Amino acid sequence: MIGRALDANNDIFLDRNRLAMVSDGAEVVQHVRSRLLFYLGECAWDTTAGVPYFQRIFVKPMNLPQTEAILKAVIIRSPGVAQLLDFTMAYTSANRQLAVTYKAETTYGVVVGATLNTIKGVPV
C-alpha cells in the first residue's frame, strides 16, 4: 500500500514541493489513525461511516469498556491489520482527553507503539 502522508493535523503535506508519501506499515498506521479520528455522520454521502463518538462514547456516564471495544473494533477492521496485539487507553477526566496506543500485526509486520492523537470532548 502507498498513500499520501499526513501531518499531525491530518493534513496532506509537501516534502521539497512534492507530495510526501507513506507505504507499507506506516500507511496502515496512518489509515488506522484516520479511521479513529473519523466521526460517525461526518461524511455527507455516507452517514453510516465513522466512529460513534457523540452517540456512544461522549456520553455521561462514560462507559470505558464499551469505548475500548468500539475503538478496538475500528483498529481490527482497518485494511492491512491482521491482529491487534496490544491496546492501551488512557482517560484524563481533568481535561476530558482520551489517548489510545496500540500494537498490531499488519500485512507488513508488527507496528509497535503507534499512538493516536488525544481525542478531546469525552465527558467527565
Rounded CA gap, 61 and 83, in Å?
30
More confident residue, 49 or 120: 49
Minimum mean pLDDT among 35-44, 64-73, 108-117: which range? 108-117
Give every CB contact of residue 96 below 8 A, 6+ residues apart in sequence: 120, 121, 122, 123, 124
- Residue 67 C-alpha cell reads as 469505548
Domain encompassing residue 113: 2-120
pLDDT in tens, 25-67: 666 777 788 888 888 988 888 888 899 988 998 888 888 899 9
CATH number of the domain residue 11 falls in: 3.10.450.40
Give tens-digit pLDDT for 80-105: 899 999 999 888 777 777 888 899 99
Split into its structural domains, the chain has a count of 1
